[in-house]
Amino acid sequence: MTAVYRLSSSLASHAGLIFKMAVQQVRRRYIDTVGGIAWSVLQPLALVITYWFVFSVGFKVKIADGSISFLTYFITGIAVWFLVAEAIPASVGAIGGNAHLIKKVVFPAEVLPVIPIITTAIIHFGLLVIVFTLVLAERRGVPWTALQLPYYTGCAIVLCLGIGWLTAALQVFFHDVQKLVEIVLNVWFWLTPIVWPPELLGGRWQWLLDLNPAYYVVKGYRDSLLYGVPFWSNPVPAIAFWAICGVLLFFGAWVFDRLKRDFAEVL
C-alpha cells in the first residue's frame, strides 16, 4: 500500500512532465515520415481491414442476430486492445531505453513506464474518430453510453500501469521479460473475444471471461458504443476487474519500488 501511494504521489506531482514527454514521444515517432501522425490510424486500420476480410469475407463470421456487422463489432473491440497491446511492450523497455536519465540525473524512474502508456492513449483518441465514424454510418447514431468511454479507457490505462511497473522493473535485471510479454500478449489476444463472439465459449465458461481483465474493457467499449449498456449494470465483472487490477497495481508498485534503487548500478 505504501509503495502504491509513494509512486502514485510521484506521478501526480510530475503530471506535467509526463504529459510533456508523452507529446514529445508522439512527435518523435512520426517526425521523419511523410504521412506523419496519420500513420497512427493507417497502421491499425490496415490490420482491421485484413481481419475483416479473413473472418467476415473468408470465414463468414456472423455476430449474434446479424444486426451488427463483423467490421463494426471487431473495430469497437480491437480499438482498446491496440492501446493495451502497444502500451505494455513500450513500458517494458522504458527504463533501459532511458538509461541516461537514470544514471546521470535525479529523475523519478517511476514515471518512465507511464509515459508510453499516455503516448499510446493520445494516439488512441485518433483511432476512436474512425470507430465513431463507422458506428455512426452503420447504426445511424451512438447511444448515450458512449459518454462512459473515458471510464473504460481509464480502466485500460490502470491495467497497463500495473503490468508496466512490474515488467519494466524486471526487464532491467532479466532481459527475457520483453520476449515473454510479447508471447503473453499474442496468446491473450486470442483468448479475448475480439475476433470471435463470446457466445462461442458457452454459458458455463463465462466465469473465465470475467477473470480476463482485457475482456472487461473490450466488452465495455462495445456496450458503450453498440448496445447502450451502462457500466454499473454489471457489477460482478467490474468487481473482478478491479480486484485483478488492484493486485497487479500493488504488486507492480511494490516490485518497482524495491528494485528502482539498483537501476542505475545495473544499467
Residue pLDDT, tens place only, 98-145: 888 887 667 788 899 999 999 999 888 888 888 888 888 888 888 999
Does residue 83 have a pLDDT over 70?
A: yes
Residue-by-residue DSSP string for 147-160: GGHHHHHHHHHHHH
Give phi and psi for 23, each to the nearest 5. -65, -40
pLDDT in tens, 22-79: 888 877 776 666 555 666 667 777 777 777 777 666 656 667 666 778 888 888 999 9
How many percent of the chain have pLDDT more than 90? 42
d(CA 131, CA 9): 34
For the packed helices 15-30 and 114-139, what is the interaxial angle rounded to 10 degrees?
70
Q: What is the pLDDT of residue 7?
A: 86
Q: What is the pLDDT of residue 145?
A: 93
Average pLDDT, the chain: 86
Q: What is the pLDDT of residue 103?
A: 76
**Mean pLDDT throughout 176-201?**
90
d(CA 99, CA 90): 15
Give residue 188's domain range: 2-266
Does residue 148 have a pLDDT over 80?
A: yes
Radius of gyration of the chain measured on its C-alpha atoms: 19
Q: What is the pLDDT of residue 172?
A: 92
Q: What is the pLDDT of residue 72?
A: 86
Longest CA span, the chain: 60
Beta-carbon contacts of 203 under 8 Å, excluding residues fewer than 6 positions away, are none
Q: What is the pLDDT of residue 64?
A: 64
The number of folded domains in the chain is: 1
Q: How confident is the model at residue 1 (pLDDT cuts 50, 70, 90)?
A: low
Q: What is the pLDDT of residue 31?
A: 62
pLDDT in tens, 210-231: 889 999 999 999 999 998 999 9
Q: What is the pLDDT of residue 240?
A: 93
Q: What is the pLDDT of residue 205?
A: 77
Cell numbers linked to 26: 508522439
Q: What angle do CA 78, 83, 89 make, to 5 degrees?
A: 120
pTM of the model: 0.89
d(CA 214, CA 160): 10
3-state secondary structure at position 259: helix
Using a 10 angstrom Cβ sphere, with 0-12 exposed, 13-18 middle and 19 or more buried, the burial of residue 41 is middle
